[in-house]
A and B are shown apart, each in its own frame.
Chain A
Amino acid sequence: MAEKSIGDLAFWENSLVIAADDLVIETKQKIRVLDFATQEIVRSYSDLHQDLVKAVAMLPGTQNTVISGGYDFRINIFDLNQTATGVQFNHGAPVEALCPFPNGFGFVSVGGYEVHICMRPKCGTCAPPSCFSRRRTRKR
């Protein structure tokens, strides 16, 4: 198996957000932004995940908010323009896929025997990524 497999992709403006499914665990920069025109990595995000990243998706209704999930059980919601880590959830199992709602008010994460539905409270004033707090869990 290759050392630098691609876990998932997401389009962002004129760039591509790449979730690196690296088997080299020491590589901390597992989420990178590739520019189409220059074909170079213009940004990378370290310490978001400690293991393979299997899913990445842009949150609909936002410009720069990304959800990522990996085999370290973590789901991160963060802003591509900010260096600080946003909100982090524990899925409780390796995250295989993420699917945001088309209205951007939540997302579904799957992995292991678990399906989590993460909803944004209807407060109307808060903005992603800081507002995801309610969570329902279904276990088999």
Chain B
Amino acid sequence: MIRDEHYFKKLQSTHFNSYPSAVQKMALLNNSLAVCTGKQVDFVQNGATTSYSKFESETRCVKWRPDGQLVAVGEASGRVQLIQASKRV
């Protein structure tokens, strides 16, 4: 067994979410995970989930700005939304 396999076997699932729609993309920055699913984006931080669902169509992709202040979300309709991380709830 190679060293990497030892490492990954030690990892444990700390949080599990099941979504009704397919998960399109995810973006991780520091401790915050943004999950793109259906017509919403879920933010998972320290096990707590908050949803942002002010979208017209299905979300396709999500990306954090490196400073963690902004999140960009792309929709299937071609619309792009910028969300301030502090006001995402």
The complex places the Cα of A20 from the Cα of B82 at a distance, in Å, of 17
A11 touches B72 (CB 8 A): yes
Asked if A134 lies at the interface with its beta carbon under 8 angstroms from chain B, I say no
B72 touches A7 (CB 8 A): no
In residues 29-76 of chain B, which contact A (Cβ within 8 Å)? Answer: 57, 60-63, 65-66, 70, 72-76
The complex places the Cα of A21 from the Cα of B78 at a distance, in Å, of 9
* Minimum C-beta distance from B22 to chain A (A): 13
* Minimum C-beta distance from A55 to chain B (A): 9
Asked if B84 lies at the interface with its beta carbon under 8 angstroms from chain A, I say no
A4 touches B78 (CB 8 A): yes
Residues on B with beta carbons closer than 8 Å to the beta carbon of A18: 74, 80
In the complex, residue of chain A having the shortest beta-carbon distance to the beta carbon of B60: A6
In the complex, residue of chain B having the shortest beta-carbon distance to the beta carbon of A54: B61
B63 touches A9 (CB 8 A): yes
The prevalent SS among residues of A at the interface is strand
A1 touches B76 (CB 8 A): yes
Asked if A8 lies at the interface with its beta carbon under 8 angstroms from chain B, I say yes
Known contacts being A1-B76, A18-B80, is A7 close to B61, with CB within 8 Å? yes
Map CB proximity to B onto A1-22 as digits: 1 under 8 Å, 0 otherwise: 1111111111100001010110
Contacts A4-B78, A18-B74 known; list 15 others, CB within 8 Å: A2-B76, A2-B78, A5-B76, A5-B77, A6-B60, A6-B61, A6-B79, A7-B60, A8-B61, A8-B63, A8-B74, A9-B72, A11-B65, A11-B70, A16-B72
Asked if A34 lies at the interface with its beta carbon under 8 angstroms from chain B, I say yes
* Minimum C-beta distance from A4 to chain B (A): 3
A11 touches B80 (CB 8 A): no
The complex places the Cα of A30 from the Cα of B73 at a distance, in Å, of 18
The complex places the Cα of A5 from the Cα of B36 at a distance, in Å, of 14
Residues on A with beta carbons closer than 8 Å to the beta carbon of B62: 9
What are 9 A-B contacts with C-beta separation under 8 Å?
A2-B57, A2-B76, A5-B77, A6-B80, A8-B25, A9-B72, A21-B60, A34-B80, A36-B82
The complex places the Cα of A3 from the Cα of B57 at a distance, in Å, of 12
The complex places the Cα of A16 from the Cα of B80 at a distance, in Å, of 10
